[in-house]
Amino acid sequence: MLSPGPAQRVIIHLNEDAASEGDYLHLEIVSFLYGAGVSGATVLRGHSGFGIHHRIHTEGGPGMSGEHLPIRIEFVEGTDTVERLMPRLIEMVTDGVIEAQETRIIHIAQLSTSREREDRSK
């Protein structure tokens, strides 16, 4: 469970068409993070970009299929959780970049359900 205090922001940079053994890699990573109990993750798909090979990939450009576009997976978790997950993430990301930045969670706001509000009022 994510709580206020020291944390790490992890960003994984991939190509949209990067494959894994069973699916596209970004889908496998999100599934892994979900199963590992990460509080939340976001997948962002870029409109255009280039990587280490310096080939520009653009959605809708002439002769471009749009399948090799950049993907970013981002999540914020406590340092212990990130350290526990990192070996598996490193193993999974065979073509891409993983970065981690120290950060600090200041506040976590969460809407409660009507049942949770009823339980608190008792």
CATH number at residue 30: 3.30.70.120
> Domain tally for the chain?
1
Rg (Cα) of the chain, in Å, rounded? 18
* CA angle, 46 then 49 then 52, to 5°: 130
Nearest to 5 by CA among 79, 88, 113, 95: 79
pLDDT of residue 69: 85
Give the Cα separation of 8 and 105 in Å (integer): 9
Number of neighbouring beta carbons within 10 Å of residue 70: 18
Residue 29 belongs to domain spanning: 5-121
pLDDT of residue 116: 60
Tens of pLDDT, residues 46-76 = 877 777 777 777 776 655 555 678 899 999 9
Q: What is the mean pLDDT of residues 80-96?
A: 95
Mean pLDDT of the chain: 85
